[in-house]
Amino acid sequence: MSEIKASGNLHGHELTNIPVLNPGDWFGKTWLIEIGGSYTPLFLIVEANSMSDAIDELADNEQYGHLIVVEDEYLGDYPEDSRHYGPSGQVLDLDHLMIYGQEGAAIPFPCRYHGEGLPTDGVLPTEFEHAE
């Protein structure tokens, strides 16, 4: 299947064409991650069981993980006693990261998936059939 994108609403603002990390891998439990620190934030939808798991999925993602993983040459800027670690032991910079979603909800951040082979108006993440 082609790349899946999502659409949703954040505080009255329509978000479209949001990349989806691991669609279909966690029963439609979607979280909206915002990576700021610049003029235009990057939004990503991540399927994961919890907010913490969503950060782990992002940290290990080949395409987007570098946005929060600290490069070795900058580790000195992150004191040992205040470091956040990713699932593979990497040091994470979470200063410009926001996560939106409601713990305990079937779809923590309501959105719709769009992509090749899906209906024009998209599908709920809980209805998405993961194609291998």
Task: List, for residues 37-78, the tens digit of each pLDDT value.
Answer: 667 889 999 999 999 999 999 999 999 999 999 898 988 888
DSSP string over 32-43: EEEE-SSSS-EE
Q: How far apart are the first and last CA of the chain?
A: 8
What is the Cα–Cα distance from 13 to 24, expressed in whole angstroms?
Answer: 25
Q: What is the pLDDT of residues 76-129, one digit of tens each?
A: 888 888 888 888 889 898 888 999 999 988 899 999 999 998 999 999 999 997
| Domain spans, the chain | 5-119
Beta bridge partners of 7: 112
The residue behind tokens 């979603």 is 101
Any idea which residue has 């000195």 for tokens?
Answer: 76
